[in-house]
Amino acid sequence: MPRATVVDEKEVVRFGVSIPRSLLKEFDRVSREIGFANRSEAIRAAIRELIAKHKSIGEKKANIGVIAVIYDHKEKGCEEEITDIQHKYSDVVVNASHIHLNDECLETITCVGDGERIKKLYMELRAVKGVKWAETILTWYIKAKKTPRHV
């Protein structure tokens, strides 16, 4: 159970997190470069940023999106799950491209259609075990159609 202490009238919760040592080492390095006073400050900032990004994606009106996903292709079932999710959202997925980056892969997915479906696709992909990074660009284009024409 997390231990709570009171600091400046705000409840602070201590909790444990299990992450790979290499990820923690990189997090600490980047945190120092940015200038955070300590790991807790950096973690709070990272959590706030994740929450803000999630809110902005949820509030954005969109009908075109590009989703980029970097994942560990050695993670059992990861690639298959990513493919299955894309098939689940075939009503908005119009193209996918895959490249190899040593032990990782980059999948870029182009979407056109219902913005809420594109956002849900992004959130499902981001949650797949083995996904190391995911980013989305969402925009609105009045003339967007399900099947874009190539010139």
pLDDT given for residue 3 in this prediction:
47
Please check the confidence at residue 141 and state whether its pLDDT lies above 80: no
Q: pLDDT, tens digit, for every residue of 81-140?
A: 999 999 999 999 999 999 999 889 999 999 998 888 998 999 999 999 999 999 998 887
134, 68 contact by CB (below 8 A): yes
Output the CA torsion 74→72→22→25 (10° steps). Answer: 180
Confidence at 56, pLDDT banded by 50, 70, 90: low
pLDDT given for residue 18 in this prediction:
93
Domain boundaries, the chain: 18-57, 61-139
Is the CATH code 1.10.1220.10 the one for domain 18-57?
A: yes
| Distance separating alpha carbons of residues 142 and 151, to the nearest angstrom | 19
Exposed / middle / buried, residue 52 (Cβ in 10 Å: 0-12, 13-18, 19+): exposed
| Distance separating alpha carbons of residues 107 and 69, to the nearest angstrom | 5
109, 66 contact by CB (below 8 A): yes
Q: State the pTM of this model.
A: 0.67
Q: Which CATH code is given to the segment(s) 61-139?
A: 3.30.70.1150
Q: How large a percentage of the chain has pLDDT more than 90?
A: 52
Higher pLDDT, 33 or 109: 109
Q: Which residues pair with 97 in a beta bridge?
A: 108
pLDDT given for residue 98 in this prediction:
95
